[in-house]
Each structure stands twice: as C-alpha cells, then as structure tokens.
C-alpha cells in the first residue's frame, strides 16, 4: 500500500520549439520536426511476466468508438487503445510530442506541413496504413467531426506526396499543426469505415489492442494486437468496466476487482491505500473545471450577474472541504499553467459575498433569483459534489440553484452541443491541444453555453493567423484579460486526478487522463 505520483518522462519536441521557428512576413523558415532513426521505445516498463487480463474501472459508461463523434473522456480511453495518432503527447503531456504513425514532421511552407509516415503498419483487419488512409482520416475529421472537434483541426486539405508522405495544408500559417495530430484525426481504416461492417460500436485502427466485444452497461473487452508496430504487449486482454457510484468504485479497488481504477474520491483515499497490493497515484491534470453560463439567457446576459457569482464562491474552500485538497484554483482563466500562453500574474476573483450582493443589486436582483445547474456524476472526480457545494455558497447571496443530475449519455449530448444545457452547466476542459488559442476555440464553439462575445472571436482569429511567439503572447494576454472581466464562467480549479493502481502493474497516470495500453507494464518482482 502506498501513495505515488506520475514520474515525468522526457519528451521530444516542445510547444515552444514548435512555435519558435515561426514563419515571418515575406520569409519561410523551416520548422524542424521529430525525426527518430528508430521507433520510439515503449513507455511501458519491461514485463517480468505476462499480466494476463488487465481490468480497468472508469467512472462513466462508454458511448461509442468513433473519435470524430464524441467528446467524452471515457470514450477516448477506449478509442486510444484501438486507434493511433500521427503524433501524441509524451506520458506527462507537458508539451512534448512523440512520434506515433508519423516518424517526423516539418513546415516546408508557411501553410504546408510535411509528415513522414511509419512504414509497414497495418490496421487490425490487415489493410495497410499509408498516405491515402492518413489523408482520408485527417480530411474526414476536419470536415465531418462534431463542431467542437472540427475547430481543433482547421485543415484545408491533405496532399499525398508519396506512399509514406503527406502534406497537411492550412488556410493560415500556424505552428500548431503537429499538436492538431494529438488532438484529433485518429487513424481509421477508410474501407472498413465506409463498408457495411462499420459501426460506432466498434473501431478498426492500428493501436496496441483489438476490439473483441462490447456489452453495453457491462464491459468492453480488448485483446493485445500481435502485429502492433510498437511491439509485443505484456497483457493478453484488457477489460474496461464503468462504475459511476464513487463508493462502489473505491470498494472495487479494495476488493482487487480493478488493476486501474479512475477517480478515487478524497474521502476514500485512506481506506484504498490500506489495501495490500494497491497504490493510490495522483497527477496534476490538464483538466480545468468551471461552471459555464448561458450568456444568451437572462440574467446571465448581464456581466454584473456573472461577476457577482464569481465573487460569491470560495473555490479554495470547496477544494479543501469537499475535494480533500485535490485541486488548485485557477486565476481568472479557463485553463491551467501547463498551457502555452498562461499568464500567472492575472489573478482570479476574490471571495467577497458583500461585493456579490452589491453587484446583484446593481443588476436588478437585490433579493437574488432562482436558476439551475446541470452536472454529471462520476464522469469527473467529485463533479456532483463540487456543484452541490457551490450551490450552497450561492444560496448565501440569495441565489437558489437547483442541481440537475444528468446520466452520462445525456450529459455528453449537452457537451457535444446536441442538447441545450441548463442556464449553468458543470464543464471540464482537458485541452489536449495545450495552447491559449485552443482555450479560446473551446469557448466559442457553437453550443448552448458558448461565449457569445465577438471580441473573443477576434482574439481567436488573430491567434490562428499569428505564428510569432511574442505576438501570440501579447494577443493571448489581451484575450485572457478580456475574459477575466467578461466572466464567461464561474472560474474553478485545475483537477488533481486520483487512481487506485494494482502493484502488479508498472503504470503512471497521465496529465491528459488517457489510460493507454501501450504504457502499461508488468512490475518486476
């Protein structure tokens, strides 16, 4: 029994390196990409013996396996087990990219990035992965994905250079194209996807595991891919189950039913840690929690009301009393310090209930008002509990906020923009493209709780067409200052994720919260 944390691993190419060699006006500078001479070593520890079946317990049901059709975290833990990317963040997700199905990349023109593809890779059905399949996957994602996902992939087209080389073309110069490959365009077999066997309930990729069966509400079964380009895996099968009840999930960890159990709540950490053969591991997540407003609905179309609610809540106290200290308040911004362009000197709203009451009175609500907050339960660590505590604090300034609990499917429909939200909605953003530009993109994506401020769209447009790092810092700072004043959310906290992990595994949690099979190893005796 022990407590642990993620052991950072050195990556290969940082965001700053991506942007440093920027394209100046009238001149083209080549951005050196990642070009290893051999496939990257597996991040999984060497296996002392086979693991057999690895059992993973997550907090919400999986809804499907098409990476272009979901925003749900738990879906991507399953998708990333079967489907690979051209490039992926290193295990710490601290800004380093590692090669996956692409072995190198560089900017050859201001709007053209060239990717060399890994040779000899096959999809699970035996079809070859090559430039044509990569072109299809990227263009499909850019054109057909959910709106929130398409905005992560502002690609005009993909040109095939040769069988193992593609050029990704963007409308404007940008140094973020390699990061786009981490944030989307997962590589599927186009023939299978267009054929009669296609289903969002299956996936046909090149990843370390292959689909076996999915019994909805019970289990997803995956088997090791014997032809995986990254080498032999130390397990035979991975079985993923969803347990939404927090206490039941902790009990499963104690009973040895899960080798990796996500979202152990603070009140359960001590008893889980006491279980022989189980370690509790934590990681500072890229995920930031906030409460999003519908700024197209009264009274939240009034900036004074939005600011008042920020003064009314004490996020630090909720972290301490409800989340057991597992969180860090954010500072007037919707992203954490790992994001390129983060401004550490911009402070958040202080806890000031009297100021909140004064602003409410100025806005015409001296006695407060009633509203609703939509949330999930178990999808993120302490999501429901955080919202309940926040509603209690709002009550102290005269705001009666009814907490509306959505099951994971309905909540995902709200997040995906397929269903309108309550006037307030619990929101968490993992920002898998860790740059301030993507933070702005997330806020203006079309759905009921989008930010309807044209000024923010202006900052985003400027960032999207600016490559010079100093100028990006300036634009980003202006945008963050605007957001702090506009108050599009109740600013929340950066999550600290907690997992129960069997001591038979050599595995560390990632900041992006993905549970990746090729990072699972067997602990040596």
Asked whether the CA dihedral 514, 81, 431, 423 is positive or negative, the reply is negative
Is 10 part of a structural domain of the chain? Answer: no
Which pLDDT tens digit goes with each residue over 296-354?
A: 999 999 999 999 999 999 999 999 999 989 998 987 777 777 777 778 888 889 999 99
Q: Which residue shows structure tokens 């079967």?
A: 82
Count of structural domains within the chain:
1
Q: Is residue 384 part of a domain?
A: yes
In a domain, 474, yes or no: yes
Is the pTM here over 0.85, yes or no?
no
Pull the structure tokens for residue 29.
């500078």
Task: Kindly state whether residue 89 falls inside one of the protein's structural domains.
Answer: no
**pLDDT tens by residue, 42-83:** 445 444 468 999 999 998 889 888 888 887 888 888 999 999
For residue 393, give the H/E element and its range. helix 383-395
Cα gap 264→253, rounded to integer Å: 9
Query: Which pLDDT score, from 0 to 100, does residue 367 have?
Result: 96
Q: What is the pLDDT of residues 271-295, one digit of tens each?
A: 999 999 999 999 988 889 999 999 9
Q: Report yes or no: 284 and 511 within 8 Å, Cβ to Cβ.
A: yes
Nearest to 436 by CA among 346, 497, 509, 513: 346
Structure tokens at 213: 């069966």
State the pLDDT at residue 151: 63
Report the alpha-carbon distance of residue 44 to residue 379 in Å, rounded: 26
* Torsion on CA atoms 292, 512, 224, 59, rounded to nearest 10: -40
Cα–Cα distance between 155 and 237 in angstroms, integer? 36
**Separation CA 184–CA 306 (nearest Å):** 33
Give dist(CA 445, CA 147) in Å, integer: 7
71-85: burial string, b at 16+ Cβ within 10 Å, e else = bbbbbbbbbbbbbbb
Distance of CA 353 to the CA centre of its chain: 33
CA distance 229 to 115: 18
pLDDT in tens, 88-130: 988 865 568 899 999 999 999 989 999 999 999 999 999 999 9
Q: What is the pLDDT of residue 417?
A: 78
Domain that holds residue 490: 287-495
Percent of the chain with pLDDT over 70: 88
488 close to 424: Cβ distance less than 8 angstroms: no
Residue 221 lies in a domain: no
CB 33 within 8 A of CB 178: yes
- pLDDT at res. 345: 84
| CATH number of the domain that residue 400 is part of | 3.10.105.10
Residue 360 in any domain: the answer is yes
- Residues in a beta bridge with 98: 88
- C-beta of residue 509 within 8 angstroms of C-beta of residue 497: yes
- Are 167 and 117 a contacting pair, CB within 8 Å? no
Residue 9 has pLDDT above 50, yes or no: no
Residue 50 in domain? no
Instruction: Name the packing angle between helices 454-464 and 469-486 (round to 10°).
Output: 170
Nearest to 515 by CA among 1, 13, 54: 54
Of the pLDDT bands very low, low, confident and very high (cuts 50, 70, 90), residue 437 is confident
Max Cα separation, the chain?
A: 69
In a domain, 118, yes or no: no
Segment 383-391 mean pLDDT? 96
Judge whether 60 and 74 are in contact, CB under 8 Å.
yes
Q: Give me the pLDDT at residue 92, please.
A: 64
Name the more confident of 158 and 89. Answer: 158
CB atoms within 10 A of CB 172: 13
């Amino acid at each position: 029994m022990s407590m642990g944390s993620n052991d950072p691993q050195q990556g290969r190419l940082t965001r700053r390196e991506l942007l440093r060699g920027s394209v100046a006006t009238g001149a083209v500078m080549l951005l050196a990409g990642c070009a290893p001479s051999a496939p990257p070593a597996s991040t999984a520890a060497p296996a002392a013996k086979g693991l057999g079946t690895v059992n993973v317990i997550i907090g919400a049901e999986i809804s499907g396996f098409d990476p272009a059709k979901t925003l749900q975290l738990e879906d991507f833990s399953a998708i990333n087990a079967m489907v690979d990317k051209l490039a992926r963040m290193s295990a710490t997700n601290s800004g380093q990219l590692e090669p996956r199905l692409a072995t190198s990349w560089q900017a050859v023109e201001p709007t053209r990035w060239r990717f060399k593809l890994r040779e000899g890779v096959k999809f699970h059905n035996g079809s070859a992965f090559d430039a044509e399949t990569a072109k299809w996957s990227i263009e499909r994602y850019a054109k057909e994905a959910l709106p929130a996902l398409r905005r992560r992939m502002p690609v005009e087209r993909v040109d095939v250079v040769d069988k193992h080389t593609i050029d990704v073309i963007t409308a404007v110069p940008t140094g973020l194209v390699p990061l786009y490959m981490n944030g989307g365009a997962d590589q599927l077999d186009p023939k299978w996807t267009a054929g009669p066997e296609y289903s969002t309930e299956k996936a046909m990729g090149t990843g370390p595991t292959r689909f076996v069966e999915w019994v909805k509400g019970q289990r997803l079964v995956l088997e090791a891919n014997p032809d995986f380009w990254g080498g032999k895996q130390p397990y035979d099968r991975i079985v993923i189950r969803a347990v939404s009840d927090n206490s039941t999930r902790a009990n499963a960890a104690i009973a040895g039913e899960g080798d990796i159990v996500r979202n152990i709540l603070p009140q359960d950490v001590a008893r889980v840690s006491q279980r022989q053969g189980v370690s509790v591991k934590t990681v500072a997540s890229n995920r930031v929690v906030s409460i999003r407003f519908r700024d197209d609905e009264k009274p939240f179309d009034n900036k004074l009301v939005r600011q008042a609610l920020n003064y009314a809540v004490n996020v630090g106290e909720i972290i301490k009393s409800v989340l057991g200290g597992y969180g860090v308040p954010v500072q007037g911004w919707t992203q954490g310090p790992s994001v390129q362009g983060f401004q550490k000197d911009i402070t958040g709203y202080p806890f000031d209930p009297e100021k909140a009451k004064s602003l409410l009175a100025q806005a015409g609500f001296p006695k407060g008002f009633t509203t609703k907050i939509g949330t999930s339960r178990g999808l993120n660590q302490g999501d429901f509990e955080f919202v309940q505590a926040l509603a209690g604090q709002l009550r102290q300034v005269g705001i009666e906020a009814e907490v509306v609990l959505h099951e994971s499917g309905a909540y995902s429909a709200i997040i995906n923009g397929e269903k309108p939200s309550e006037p307030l909605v619990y929101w968490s953003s993992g920002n898998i493209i860790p740059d301030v530009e993507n933070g702005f993109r997330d806020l203006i994506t079309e759905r009921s709780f989008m930010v309807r401020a044209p000024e923010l769209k202006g900052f985003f447009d400027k960032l999207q067409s600016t490559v010079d790092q100093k100028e990006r810092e300036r634009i980003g700072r202006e945008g963050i200052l605007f957001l702090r004043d506009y108050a599009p959310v109740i600013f929340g906290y950066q999550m600290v994720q907690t997992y129960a992990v069997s001591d038979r595994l050599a595995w560390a949690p990632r900041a992006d919260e993905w549970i990746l099979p090729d990072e699972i190893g067997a602990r040596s005796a």
